[in-house]
Amino acid sequence: MTALDVQVNSADPACPGQAPLLPVVGTGIEVPLVTGDSLPYANLDYAASAPSLQSVADHLSEVLPYYASVHRGAGYTSQVCTALYEGARADVAAFLGARPDDVVIFTRNTTDALNLLARCVPDDGPGGGRVTFLDIEHHANLLPWRRGQHRCVLAGTTQRATLVSLRAELEARPASLLAITGASNVTGEVLPLAEIVELAHAAGARVVLDAAQLAPHRRIDLASSGVDYVALSGHKLYAPFGAGVLAGRRDWLDEAPAYLPGGGAVREVTLTHTEWAAAPQRHEGGTPNVLGAATLAQAARTLSQLPSGALEAHEEALRTALTDRLNRLPGVRTLRIWRDSTTSIGVVAFTVDGYAPGLVAAYLSAEHGIGVRDGKFCAHPLLSRLGAPEGAVRASFGVGTTLDDVERLAAAVEQLVTSGPRWSYDVVDGRWAPTPDPRGLPDWAVSTTGAADRGTSPCEPLTA
């Protein structure tokens, strides 16, 4: 039995959610509370960036001594890294069920991948270069398409009504591409992908799947699903080393201008002419992120070893336990897009009457050692239509989460609803924070030339 087999089989399939499904780095770390105590960290923020799988960290340690630049190098370590990089490409293709002629391009993340594809949609083909998308999308699958011809379709109150609207739009105004999320990053609801692909192809449109949230939770098979392109991020797939993927049909990618003109993207250059390489190298100018690609591929290999249905059962147990508890609390509302959705990944968003989402998140961290996400999750139009224009709180989980983690969150929210916070909180530099905040950061996280800066985001609401 290999080490990977031991990791995969460590959880009891008869009791989903009781134990981690796979070991992740950081399990059991102690985090400080405002009371002066500490607790093991309950990481319920997987949808933002998932922790590294232990197998990924182990693989990084193994390959890091050989780190060198890939391609064109005669040195042994360069040859090792070239093989590692191109092998990662093949393993990611297998993970995604790619067709034999599909291309796998390594990018920085999902946003980068979708922006790359946006520059490849031909204006002279069927649909005239128009891109159609829903109003529920993450900004990464909404903003890139606005540079060209585009149509935004309002999702209905049911998935069935949404499909009807999509079909009517594509029949009335043919599009070259339908850009669709696999699972909402706000509510976790999964769209009926097979039906969406069928209606898009019937109207002559290709389909790109924003799988940033779906890929860590569900198997994706390009060949069997008929999806034309897929984009994903390594940092959400338990490989937080700065790589993403755009995979799919070759023709658009070979015919488009180089995404990042420079070394590695060309075959021949003169002072007046450039002969570009074919994809994927055409769009991977510069020295590639070999360690990001290698760790992403290792995460893909590890997740592929999970028994069929194990991840779905694990997350369903966690999601059911959390939503059942939250839905019983007065003033707590869990968010949904569609009345008839039946499948969701490990993401639950909710609001608490009387408390700003940022205050709830600060309270959970400061008094209970729980990490969640708050705000509008780079999906501002969706939060507005869900009646939460100031944002919500999002709990998200995955292979390292247990029922103890979600029960701890539910108990903390119940305490907030019934008794309120035990500490005082205020908006400091645009973010809710305990006041005072006696917790310190590790020395290695603090700049040696100035005070610690926990950072702010332009996406965060500034109101109290």
| Residue 464: pLDDT band with limits 50, 70, 90 | very low
State the average pLDDT over residues 168-186: 97
Confidence check: pLDDT of 144 > 90? yes
Query: For the ranges 28-42, 257-271, 310-324, 448-462, which has the lowest average pLDDT?
Result: 448-462
State the average pLDDT over residues 373-384: 98
Instruction: Tell me the C-alpha distance between 241 and 248, whole Å.
Output: 23
Domains and CATH numbers, the chain: 3-52+308-445 (3.90.1150.10), 57-304 (3.40.640.10)
Confidence check: pLDDT of 9 > 50? no
282 and 258 Cβ atoms separated by less than 8 Å? yes
Q: What percent of the chain has pLDDT over 90?
A: 91
Confidence check: pLDDT of 450 > 70? no
Q: Residue 259's closest CA among 150, 89, 49, 103?
A: 103
| Residue 6: pLDDT band with limits 50, 70, 90 | very low
Instruction: Tell me the C-alpha distance between 123 and 417, whole Å.
Output: 54
Model pLDDT, residue 459: 60
Model pLDDT, residue 5: 46
Model pLDDT, residue 13: 67
Model pLDDT, residue 458: 61
Average pLDDT, the chain: 94
Confidence check: pLDDT of 178 > 60? yes
Q: Residue 185's closest CA among 375, 403, 399, 412?
A: 375
| Tokens of residue 425, six digits | 């909180």
What CA–CA distances, in Å, run from 395 to 11, 28, 136, 219, 357?
A: 22, 18, 19, 22, 12
Pairing of strands 206-210, 229-233: parallel
Q: Has 459 been annotated as catalytic?
A: no
Instruction: Tell me the C-alpha distance between 188 and 46, whole Å.
Output: 12
| Residue 382: pLDDT band with limits 50, 70, 90 | very high
From the candidates 81, 152, 378, 459, give the one annotated as an active-site residue. Answer: 378
Instruction: Tell me the C-alpha distance between 300 and 399, whole Å.
Output: 13
pLDDT by residue (tens digit) across 262-310? 999 999 999 999 999 999 999 999 999 999 999 999 999 999 999 999 9
Model pLDDT, residue 449: 76
What CA–CA distances, in Å, run from 303 to 190, 224, 231, 243, 358?
A: 19, 19, 17, 17, 33
Model pLDDT, residue 448: 80
Q: Where are the alpha helices (DSSP H) in 106-182?
A: 110-118, 159-172
421 and 358 Cβ atoms separated by less than 8 Å? no
389 and 383 Cβ atoms separated by less than 8 Å? yes
State the average pLDDT over residues 139-167: 97
State the average pLDDT over residues 83-95: 98
pLDDT by residue (tens digit) across 19-38? 999 999 999 999 999 999 99
